[in-house]
Structure 1
């Protein structure tokens, strides 16, 4: 996925009301790599909270001059005491979702927030770089954005962004006309309820048809809201797990394929998660929690081969033909 154009995909410039940001220098397609950046430094050696600021200062002073300038020019949400620590808190990213080690990526830190982002960042452990990919079509000159929030209706998003990052979000979603914003908020509240229901293991075990229907309903919300970031492959993975629990190799393989494709857009082909999902696509029964019941038992060969898109969708979501 993504194009092979080697023209630089971004440039840094001032963004009205936001300070510095990155904008696209050419049109981008979903999956296009925007940038790949090694860490300026990591927090791996900063293990003593009592000396964190002092030790961090030593790291910064040991950087080349251009590295020092890049770090010190980053936004500080909490100016005052402990300036080095607060710049890290304002701009740091973990080295993967489960890592306790953070890092500073000066270019990635310039990507501003949007509640409907057009890009996704991830840590590529194999290459030791943070990568950013386009997750939807981006026009030349359009600002490149990430989401800093966990989603939810506008009052929740704006409240958390104000609390943690010190700004009142005025992105295209938060700035919708009141009636449209209320409709969006209603959909996103429904998304929260659906996500909670999908995560209920007892419901997945005993009412899998409803759990799968909830997955499709949540996908509909994401499509209507223009959400194309990592929430999509996570939803595909939820659907995969439902099929896997009930020994449905055909649907499990199909959902694993969708998950791998969506992960590829967000993270690139080298992503460990993409590799893992491709393996599950080929052998869904290798999933550790495979086959708690035989309710939907099927074989991979049962995936429809000649069905049109509409018929395949109905089969995938176990809807009546």
Structure 2
């Protein structure tokens, strides 16, 4: 067992080194400040790139000021901290609950309860429905990390998506939720009224919402023709996400669905149906490698997402 674990770790290291080489990313980064606080018109304070930030660069790794689980109210001793009191509270009255709701980040689970924490610097990043950075709780380092998911030029504001799961909702619904929770109007390309970018984004997201429902309804299709159509829908959905510049976690999730499709087909081949197993294995590995690259760029090479994808690649190679 120990020998097998050592072999798995060696395979994972080799796979990860290959990914870093493909992406042109160093294994470590110098400890330099990549952002500066700045006034952003219509949004108050925000953080802008202090220099050019290449895709995949870790922008921030921050420990929590405090965290709570299972309750919406921070304890008085935590709520009275000056760093917490200095954070924006868009809802009136300015209660500790409202301030916490507007600034917390998920930190994984403590037992069955979700932990949510306050991160003073991370809370300063503003929102965009088309973000250029992504936040992840790194359970290994116990730090909230933020990575550039596209190249960010010096002086450009750094944006996170506060509600990444809401990307298929119409702009009017996303705007309403942001106004209710944060009291601001999003001005990103997917939300700016009366613009070609807004109209194109709205049409694309509406089309993706319908296609996503079709994919969900056809996960367990049986005939080969139906299964081939399911794969085509998943792949088209991924291309639309890239057109919309929604790379993480949305595109990574679609890659996961595509890998699951190939795994099912491989099993059917083993049972005597479908095309050759080798073909499906090669295609599955291509997708898993693309997902690994995306995980490394957007969540960091030491993240749990990367570890999970490395395990998937290892399992596929053993099929």
TM-score range relative to shorter protein: 0.7 to 0.9
How much has 1:285 moved relative to structure 2?
A: 7.7
Looking at structure 1, the residues matched to 284 and 98 of structure 2 have their Cα atoms a distance apart, in angstroms, of: 45
| 1:228 lines up with 2:241 in the alignment | no
| 1:168 lines up with 2:200 in the alignment | no
Looking at structure 1, the residues matched to 206 and 144 of structure 2 have their Cα atoms a distance apart, in angstroms, of: 31
| 1:14 lines up with 2:18 in the alignment | no
The structure 2 residue matched to 1:58, chosen from 73, 77, 87, is 77
> Structure 1: any 5+ residue segments left out of the alignment?
62-67, 287-298, 300-321
How much has 1:220 moved relative to structure 2?
A: 1.9
| 1:199 lines up with 2:213 in the alignment | no
Change (3 A) 1:16 1:113: same
SS at match of 2:179: helix
The aligned counterpart of 1:253 is: 285
Q: Tell me the C-alpha RMSD between the 2 structures.
A: 2.2
How much has 1:201 moved relative to structure 2?
A: 5.0
SS at match of 1:246: helix
Looking at structure 1, the residues matched to 146 and 219 of structure 2 have their Cα atoms a distance apart, in angstroms, of: 37
How do 1:38-53 residues align onto structure 2 when only pairs under 5 Å count? 38-44=63-69, 53=73
| 1:144 lines up with 2:158 in the alignment | yes
How much has 1:275 moved relative to structure 2?
A: 1.1
Looking at structure 1, the residues matched to 222 and 312 of structure 2 have their Cα atoms a distance apart, in angstroms, of: 20
Change (3 A) 1:127 1:204: farther
Looking at structure 1, the residues matched to 93 and 79 of structure 2 have their Cα atoms a distance apart, in angstroms, of: 18
SS at match of 2:134: strand
- The higher relative CO (CA closer than 8 Å, separation ≥ 6) is in 2
Contact 2:189/2:198 (8 A) holds in 1: no
Q: What do residues 178-222 of structure 1 show as CA deviations (whole Å, max 9, x unaligned)?
A: 444222211111111222222335455542211111122112212
| 1:129 lines up with 2:148 in the alignment | no
Q: How many residues align?
A: 274
The aligned counterpart of 2:124 is: 110
The structure 1 residue matched to 2:89, chosen from 76, 79, 100, is 76
The structure 1 residue matched to 2:52, chosen from 5, 20, 27, is 27
How do 1:155-304 residues align onto structure 2 when only pairs under 5 Å count? 155-175=172-192, 177-200=194-217, 202-206=219-223, 207-247=226-266, 248-284=280-316
SS at match of 1:168: coil
How much has 1:69 moved relative to structure 2?
A: 2.5
- Deviates further, 17-26 or 148-157: 148-157
> Structure 2: any 5+ residue segments left out of the alignment?
1-19, 267-279
